[in-house]
Structure 1
Amino acid sequence: MSKRPNLLYIFADQWRRQAVGFRSEEPVMTPHIDAFAKEGLVFNQALSCTPLCSPHRASLMTGKYPQSHGVYTNCKLGADVMLRPDEICIGDVLKAAGYRTGYIGKWHLDLPEENVAERPVSGAREWDAYTPPGPKRHGFDFWHSYGAYDHHLEPHYWRDSPRMIEVKQWSVEHETDVALDFLQRSADDERPFALFVSWNPPHSPFELVPDKYKQLYASCELQLRPNVQAGELNVHTGEKVAGGKERLEQYMRDYYAAISGLDEQFGRLMAALREHGFEQDTVVVLSADHGELMGAHGLMAKHAWYEESVGIPCLMRWPGHIPRGETELLFNSVDIMPTLLGLLQLPIPEQVEGSDYSAAVRGEEGAAGAAAAFLAAFPGRKEVIEAFSSRGLDNRAYGWRAIRTANHTYVIHRGYAPEEPVQRLLYDLRADPFQLQPAHLASADEHEEAMRLEQELKQWLQRMGDAFLF
């Protein structure tokens, strides 16, 4: 290639795989994304290796599992967790290769400033952080970002100083405006560009979405998924959420409204690529960091092994290089970074633990995919960590671990408290796609498939140095 292709990576927060129009699973309207799906490759089995914001993002950036990069829970108050400056991330590789790099939107990979300063100069509060220029930005030169802040209608950002940029505009629209300016400036630059755009919605609070999108669903007939339990809603931490069918349906309407808003802004970005002559020379990826349970199994939010939580949308387009269609490739968070570098013909750092599936993405004959994907979640609440540590236990050895194949999900759950009993659950995803009838096993020896999957899971845990079962 005389010039390497550009990269535009767009991902939303808490957007589940099922909630997009072309799948016809939920009544969400996404005409621009539906059109894009016809032009590119749709990943039907894309997964979040740890369905929580910061762990997925760290795996996306490093190609490594949380056991290795250390971001096993969210970067939040009271947790000494952040993406280490010495990690080699995709942005570092892109910058070293001569790309014009940019990052716009939610970062959520830095230590909250209030963990180290009572009143940070930047104005960052609670989980939020200003990430200054330098190694913690991991190769991204243009920066219009924030740590974690969920006021979608009045967002704020930082660039290259602690001066907070406050905005009264829906965050997705504002970030798209900034991205459009980045693309326009790239048209006059000889270097290829690599731009990451991280939208926070449809992450809660669900109601913080412009009225014009809410109106699309004001009279929409909703049908609850067969696994939804609307009576009493919980999150993985054990906290209660305001429930009931009427309240859940309002959450759903607002959730779909936000996704339709994403769709409109995505359409603007695709139009800009055409306008500037980038369309043929740009790898475009549209994805998410994890899903949203939205009442499935009586749960809200994420951090569970159910498909509504671990399943993420993923679509790729590169005209003439990535064939149109669908793929059943098990595509995990850790595989994104090496696969993108493989498509761009850039070196993959030795420490990467995911797989380069660029040959399979290009449709090359004989290209192999994964037989299994590995998933994990770890207790991360401050009081829970203290409960483990008071007993001399490492909280990171608890939670749940899972192996996901094309046909099965096998879960071992040690609990989020020291005294909880171990559970073994086997789901047949073909016969029971809504995961309503798992096999509850006292031991893997009770089921031939569980025996095989547990052995494979144990081998992975050993490779990761994970003390989960040992």
Structure 2
Amino acid sequence: MAAQPLGTGVSSSRRRGASAAVTLLLLPALLTCGVRCAEPRTKPSNIVLIVTDDQDVVLGGLNPMKKTKDLIGNAGATFVNAFTVTPLCCPSRSSILTGQYPHNHGVRNNSLSGNCSSPQWQKGPDKLEYQTFFAGKYLNQYGQKDAGNVGHIPPGWDHWHALVGNSQYYNYSLSVNGKEEKHGDNYGDDYLTDLITNRSLTFLDNRSPQLPFFLLLSPPAPHAPWTAAPQHQKDYADIKAPRDWQL
């Protein structure tokens, strides 16, 4: 499938809000238990994976998001007893993308010397005829010269809208199907969380219904520098982080 750029801005009557959720895996066509579990699958499930950054459950990161569990969690799978081998960003994201432990995929920390964003391990799985879309933060060092520059697209992605470098909301660059796309500080055109959300919706609208799809949406929010959209900047001004685990 030829990769074509999707919309470039976020100003749209279709804006449906910024994506924000704990890592959630939507599987709309889940198999049921019993005899049906043994039946052969004729068509793979569609997959939507939303990965937010530093959305800490201990600090109550999901508490203000009343609709997230109903609209996303209850419609898919929520991992309530999940663990990560390392609390660092690059090793954890690499494990999500490869299904391997850090000692197997070789990413030790968030630096290039620690193998973060090294194209050498990004071989990608067989696509199995999936239409694939990625938007947002990939790995901390993505786009650097020693990591393949902005032209590097890991194998397996049809539509690629990756943030160059680490978490930013304005004044950043994207690799859009291997070509650099620079953004400024205008909310309507550049606010990253909304921009990649709307591009993911465009992908869903334009995809082929004959083939399954895999969509990975990876906003840097709520990672520092904590730049909220203008309409949300005062929403939680009086909220304090909990001092214990009683959430």
Q: Mark the CA change 1:225 to 1:115 in structure 2 (over 3 Å): closer, same or farther.
A: same
Specify the alignment match of 2:37 in structure 1.
Answer: none
Specify the alignment match of 2:174 in structure 1.
Answer: 157
Q: Would you say 1:7 and 2:47 are equivalent positions?
A: yes
Specify the alignment match of 2:102 in structure 1.
Answer: 66
Q: CA deviation at 1:212?
A: 1.7
Specify the alignment match of 1:32 in structure 2.
Answer: 67
Q: Would you say 1:213 and 2:232 are equivalent positions?
A: yes
Stretches of structure 2 that go unaligned for 5 or more consecutive residues are 1-40
Of 131, 139, 151 in structure 2, the residue corresponding to residue 100 of structure 1 is 131
Specify the alignment match of 1:141 in structure 2.
Answer: 158
Mapping of 1:46-195 within 5 angstroms? 46-76=82-112, 81-85=116-120, 87-89=122-124, 92-93=125-126, 95=127, 97-108=128-139, 113-115=144-146, 129-133=149-153, 137-166=154-183, 168=186, 169-186=190-207, 188-195=208-215
CA offsets 1:209-253 (integer angstroms, 9 cap, x no match): 1232122113x3535313xxxxxxxxxxxxxxxxxxxxxxxxxxx
Q: CA deviation at 1:45?
A: 1.9
Q: Mark the CA change 1:215 to 1:139 in structure 2 (over 3 Å): closer, same or farther.
A: same
Alignment partners' CA distance in 1, 2:75 and 2:234: 29
Partner AA of 1:198 in structure 2: S
Alignment partners' CA distance in 2, 1:222 and 1:86: 41
Alignment partners' CA distance in 2, 1:171 and 1:199: 7
RMSD over aligned Cα atoms:
2.8
Contact 2:140 2:166 in 1 (8 A): no
Q: CA deviation at 1:200?
A: 0.4
Q: Mark the CA change 1:144 to 1:111 in structure 2 (over 3 Å): closer, same or farther.
A: closer
Number of residue pairs matched by the alignment: 200
Contact 1:69 1:83 in 2 (8 A): no
Alignment partners' CA distance in 2, 1:56 and 1:131: 24
Q: Mark the CA change 1:80 to 1:29 in structure 2 (over 3 Å): closer, same or farther.
A: closer
Alignment partners' CA distance in 2, 1:194 and 1:177: 16
Alignment partners' CA distance in 1, 2:239 and 2:223: 22
CA offsets 1:15-73 (integer angstroms, 9 cap, x no match): 1123244xxxxxx4102213233444433222222111110111111111111211111
Contact 1:80 1:111 in 2 (8 A): no
Specify the alignment match of 2:79 in structure 1.
Answer: 43
Name the structure, 1 or 2, with higher relative contact order (CA <8 Å, separation 6+): 2
Partner AA of 2:44 in structure 1: R
Mapping of 1:319-330 within 5 angstroms? none
Contact 1:105 1:198 in 2 (8 A): yes
Q: CA deviation at 1:142?
A: 0.9
Specify the alignment match of 1:199 in structure 2.
Answer: 219
Alignment partners' CA distance in 2, 1:156 and 1:109: 13
Alignment partners' CA distance in 1, 2:87 and 2:52: 13
Q: Mark the CA change 1:149 to 1:221 in structure 2 (over 3 Å): closer, same or farther.
A: closer
Partner AA of 1:31 in structure 2: K
Q: Mark the CA change 1:83 to 1:57 in structure 2 (over 3 Å): closer, same or farther.
A: farther
Q: Mark the CA change 1:58 to 1:131 in structure 2 (over 3 Å): closer, same or farther.
A: farther
Contact 2:164 2:175 in 1 (8 A): no
TM-score by length of 1: 0.39
Bigger proportion of residues as helix = 1
TM-score by length of 2: 0.70
Partner AA of 1:204 in structure 2: A
Alignment partners' CA distance in 2, 1:192 and 1:176: 20
Q: Would you say 1:222 and 2:243 are equivalent positions?
A: no
Q: Mark the CA change 1:12 to 1:131 in structure 2 (over 3 Å): closer, same or farther.
A: farther
Contact 1:8 1:196 in 2 (8 A): yes
Q: CA deviation at 1:110?
A: 5.6
Partner AA of 1:203 in structure 2: H
In structure 1, the residue corresponding to 2:85 is in which secondary structure? coil
In structure 2, the residue corresponding to 1:42 is in which secondary structure? coil
Contact 1:154 1:170 in 2 (8 A): no
Q: Mark the CA change 1:164 to 1:35 in structure 2 (over 3 Å): closer, same or farther.
A: same
In structure 2, the residue corresponding to 1:31 is in which secondary structure? coil
Alignment partners' CA distance in 2, 1:173 and 1:10: 14
In structure 2, the residue corresponding to 1:43 is in which secondary structure? coil
**Structure (1 or 2) with the larger CA radius of gyration:** 1
Alignment partners' CA distance in 2, 1:82 and 1:196: 17
Contact 1:155 1:170 in 2 (8 A): no
Alignment partners' CA distance in 1, 2:75 and 2:117: 37
Q: Mark the CA change 1:69 to 1:138 in structure 2 (over 3 Å): closer, same or farther.
A: same
Q: Mark the CA change 1:111 to 1:200 in structure 2 (over 3 Å): closer, same or farther.
A: closer
Q: Mark the CA change 1:83 to 1:61 in structure 2 (over 3 Å): closer, same or farther.
A: farther
CA offsets 1:283-341 (integer angstroms, 9 cap, x no match): xxxxxxxxxxxxxxxxxxxxxxxxxxxxxxxxxxxxxxxxxxxxxxxxxxxxxxxxxxx
